[in-house]
Amino acid sequence: MTAVAPRPHDTGDPDAPDPGDDLRSRARARRELDLSVQDGPDPAATDRQHDRGKLTVRERLELLFDPGTFVEIEPLRRHRASAFGMDANRPYTDGVVAGWGKVEGRTVYAYGHDFRIFGGALGESHAEKIHKTMDLAISTGSPLVGISDGAGARIQEGVTALAGYGGIFRRNTAASGVIPQISVVLGPCAGGAAYSPALTDVVFMVRGTAQMFVTGPDVVATVTGERVPIDELGGAGVHGSRSGVASFVHEDEASCFDDVRLLLSMLPANNRSGPPVERVGDPPERRCEALYDIVSTDPAQAYDVRDVITEVTDDASMLEIHEGWAPNIVCAFARLDGHVVGIVANQPSVLAGTMDIDASDKAARFVQTCDAFSIPIVTMLDVPGFLPGSEQEHRGIIRHGAKLLYAYCAATVPRVQVILRKAYGGAYIVLDSRSIGADLSFAWPSNEVAVMGAEGAAGIIFRREIAGSPDPEGTRAARIEDYRDELLHPYYAAERGLVDDVIDPADTRRVLVGALDALRSKHAETPVRKHGNPPQ
């Protein structure tokens, strides 16, 4: 009979206590502590969070990550401050839950403020957990999601809390253009705290519960005498339509996290890898004959350029960014034959598609984001020019337009331009013309590329002739037609090599898929320098 090997540390005495019982007991106590930590500080705090229309931080992380994949780090962290009675209240997590998990099977790091603990206010230990999470995300080349719902710096901890924010800002900057950084603002984000989302790539906000501002309503009233409700000062509606701080605005947290997951599925893990490819069975050679009816050849007839984008790109793949801000230009991620592209398109149904200060800033930021993460850029033009007027000039349209020009000129990803209809003046140049580095340019047969429209040009060139004519209106009409025939016909730019081809609108999808496939291995050398100095 084979002898049974004794267990490690077995004394052979059946009545002796099992040395493993103590470890099992301790492990059981640890699991019970873990459950206590996950339940939060007290049920009443959770009820108050729900009464405000907000989820708890752990409920939010469940919405973000694939089920069962979240791994928490430092759940037993506690603050070490002893001033102002804080030594009597030292809850675990110190008001922030952090760790990693999977989103569509890919690793993503995240942290989220727990408003139930100290109102989510940031202290030294709280900040150190965030610092560690950010460091891990950067070192592993993984996207980072920050969920903001906190009352700012923890006043009781003084300057150490402020230093904690400084460490976050420094890491936001170090991660910029290296890993995707997404901020999800679901509660207050005030004072210095607001600068971290501002440094990230994309900001999500939920209407009615999220606010961002540098100084709150009480301070504003004290200093300026102006009394403004909190949502009018820094709510999601304001930042989604007026300031441009919010990239996405949602009505509830569930739909917000749905779009966070969708965005993450379209972005690469880092700047050294490409975006995920996801083919949905939409044929790359599919003809887009609906475009004939969407876009009129009458340059004064408005249409919704989003209809053009959705017709050309893969089914249900368009994700528009900054939808409510600067709507005269559309910026969106979408897929073409499964590959992610960034699309910049004039919107003729808003301000006739003219470029203004906000549109320039919006498009410039989007182009830079695409370039940082190796996402090809498709630019669709139907632009009469920059918005004229003293208000735009005095606010610096030259400076802001130069931001967009700089962004395109600096971009090294594949760049394809499509001229849908008109493309006049400086706006044509700025919106990725061949002269500033577009790899390929295609135009529909309805295109008009010129310094300005025929009416304005004829009025300047033939001003004296028209003024001295016995039939000024007839002469003017004739000269407009002369200018149009000579310089505005759809093949003028192609004849001079500024457009690669004039294409059938129905072939736009096929042409773009083929062009981007040909450009996929593009490699561009850039000058050696510390960094550029873009216009501000």
Span 202-212, average pLDDT: 96
Do you know the residue count of the chain? 536
118: left (phi over 0), alpha (psi -120 to 50) or beta: left
Q: Tens of pLDDT along 303-352? A: 999 999 999 999 989 999 999 999 999 999 999 999 999 999 999 999 99
Place of tokens 């887009």: 288
The full set of domains in the chain, from first to last, is 41-266 (3.90.226.10), 291-453+488-519 (3.90.226.10)
Candidates 258, 243, 211; CA nearest to 52 is 211
- The one-letter code for the residue type at 29 is A
- Which whole-number Å values give the CA distances from 422 to 10, 44, 78, 311, in the listed order? 87, 61, 62, 20
280, 423, 487 from 183: Cα distances, Å:
29, 36, 48
List the single range of 220-234, 356-370, 473-487 with lowest mean pLDDT. 473-487
Helix (H) or strand (E) holding 493: helix 492-495
Structure tokens at 527: 């000058």
Of 119, 167, 177, 192, which is the active-site residue?
192
Question: 347: buried, middle or exposed (CB in 10 Å: 19+, 13-18, 0-12)?
Answer: buried
- On whether the CB atoms of residues 150 and 179 are closer than 8 A, the answer is no
Tell me the two tokens of residue 290.
């609906």
- Residue 192 annotated to the active site: yes
Mean pLDDT for the chain overall: 90
Q: Hey, which residues does 343 pair with through a beta bridge?
A: 332, 378
Q: How far apart are the first and last CA of the chain?
A: 86
Q: Is the pLDDT reported for residue 208 higher than 90?
A: yes
Please determine, for residue 4, whether its predicted confidence score (pLDDT) is greater than 60.
Answer: no
- The residue from 216, 237, 324, 426 that is catalytic is 426
Q: Tell me whether residue 427 is one of the annotated catalytic residues.
A: yes
Summarize pLDDT for 70-127 with one digit per residue, the tens. 999 988 888 777 666 666 677 887 889 999 999 999 999 999 999 998 888 888 889 9
Q: Which of 407, 401, 331, 326 is nearest to 372 (CA)?
A: 407
Whether the CB-CB separation of 417 and 484 falls below 8 Å is answered with no
Question: Residue 433 in contact with residue 450, Cβ under 8 Å?
Answer: no
Q: Identify the active-site residue in 141, 158, 191, 459.
A: 191
Which residue has 């950067």 as its token pair?
A: 138
Mean pLDDT of 126-137: 96
Catalytic residue, candidates 352, 407, 423, 427: 427
Contact 437, 466 (CB under 8 A): no
Rounded to whole angstroms, the Cα distance separating 242 from 231 reads: 13
Tokens (6 digits) for 174: 């170090």
Q: Is the pLDDT of residue 147 over 80?
A: yes
